[in-house]
Amino acid sequence: MRGVRSAEVEAKITRHLQRFADWLADGLGHDRLSAVTPREVAAWRDHLSDHGNTRHTASAGPMAPATVNNHLAHLSALFSWIIVHAPAALLRNGDPTKKVDLLRLPAPQVRALAAAQVRTVKNVLDRIEDFHQLTGRRHGGTTGKPTLHRHARPLRDRAIVHLILSTGLRRAELVGLDLAQLDPCDPAELRRVKKAALTGVRGKGRTVRTVFVGRDARHALADYLDQERPGDADPVSDALFLASSSIAARRPGGRLSPRSVNTIVDQVGRLHDAQTSDRERHLGALRPHDLRHTFGYRLSEASGHNRAELERRLGHANDRYLRLYTNPPDDIAAGYVEDL
């Protein structure tokens, strides 16, 4: 995998395989490959399912079935490689992962935001700078711009949320974007044109696609590029979205991490719920994939459930997930049967 997969994927595969090695050594007292049997692989699968997730409190909890299956896929790939390259006597009974079934995945859940929720989220985004202002007498005054927290980048956060809502980008795709992929990338042009695009977006399975950027996202990006990004950029800052330059531990070039996108989206969700008295509109924990699902559902409606368009814009070819984007949020589904 080294030199073939990205550094992030390489690290994940290494981590998964090390978990199996540690679990095997802990249970058998050694980690010899010849001792790995289908029984051991199945027991590891069940262990991950019941106790594989370490919580913040250091206690063990269940691991999601999809994550368990991801661990098994990486272990299977390792043994497939061993079968080809190792002496035949090493694994006398063949690949021990072949006879171990994957966990059944639950039906995908619809996580799209309803139209009323999208409206209130956008209203919060319009006012997001207000929530980052420093309060108190020393930060007051009647002239000049309000003082913001030194790490705060409200225009960047607004642009990120609008961009996911407008394009359905995944976290990794979003943080992997370079400024050069935005066409046009000039703020004045972004405000003027009626069509902008992100080219060469790299998704899962080595797919590459072009996504179009909606009006709200174009204007939010223009504000960010005009007012915030220049202050955080350095000579090696190719990324579209940059971490605050005041953060000492930021990545080289300032590129955001996928986890940072989680934090930004979650914070917007918390602000939304704090500003919304209508409990029916509350979002709870808002995640980037909720915004992606919202885009997918709205694109499905706008395109007449055009499968080819969904594949092209979402970078997904799996029927199981494409069907998910045609399912309406609960309040819309409830409305279908209200008067029947």
| Tokens 């309406």 -> residue | 328
pLDDT(325) > 70: no
In angstroms, the CA 275 to CA 145 distance is: 23
To the query of whether residue 321 is one of the catalytic residues in this protein, the response is no
Query: Is 139 annotated as catalytic?
Result: no
Q: List, for residues 46-100, the tens digit of each pLDDT value.
A: 999 999 888 666 788 899 999 999 999 999 999 999 999 988 778 888 899 998 9
CA distance 192 to 38: 62
Catalytic residue among 71, 158, 171, 316: 316
pLDDT score, position 91: 87
Identify whether 316 is a catalytic site residue.
yes
CB of 316 within 8 A of CB of 310?
Answer: yes
Catalytic residue status for 289: yes
Phi, then psi, of 260 in degrees rounded to 5: -65, -35
Q: Which residue among 71, 255, 292, 293 is the active-site one?
A: 292
Does residue 111 or residue 190 have the better pLDDT? Answer: 190
User: Which domains, ranges and CATH numbers included, belong to the chain?
Assistant: 7-85 (no CATH), 115-337 (1.10.443.10)
Cα–Cα dist 314/213, whole Å? 13
Confidence of residue 224 (pLDDT cuts 50, 70, 90): very high
For residue 178 the two structure tokens come to 């370079």
Can you give the pLDDT at residue 303?
82
Burial class of residue 280 (count of CB atoms within 10 Å of its CB; 0-12, 13-18, 19+):
exposed
Number of other CB atoms surrounding residue 100 within 10 Å: 19
The residue from 204, 215, 259, 320 that is catalytic is 204
Q: What are the residues whose beta carbons fall under 8 Å from the beta carbon of 270, sequence distance 6 or more?
A: 286
Rounded distance between C-alpha atoms, residue 197 and residue 211, angstroms: 6
Percent of the chain with pLDDT over 70: 87
Higher-pLDDT residue of 289, 303:
289
- Using one digit for the tens of pLDDT, what is the confidence trace for 2-23? 888 888 889 999 999 999 999 9
145 is an active site residue: no
Helix boundaries (H) for the chain = 7-28, 38-51, 65-85, 115-126, 128-131, 154-167, 171-175, 187-192, 215-227, 229-232, 258-275, 288-302, 307-314, 319-322, 330-337
Strand order in the sheet with 208-213: 182-183, 196-202, 208-213
| Residue from 45, 132, 170, 281 carrying the catalytic annotation | 170
pLDDT of residue 4: 80
- 281-301 pLDDT, tens per residue? 898 889 999 999 899 888 888
What DSSP character marks residue 147?
A: P
Question: CA 233, 237, 242, 243 torsion: positive or negative?
Answer: negative
56 is known as an active-site residue: no
Q: Which member of 251, 289, 312, 323 is catalytic?
A: 289
**Burial class for 56, CB neighbours closer than 10 Å (0-12, 13-18, 19+):** exposed
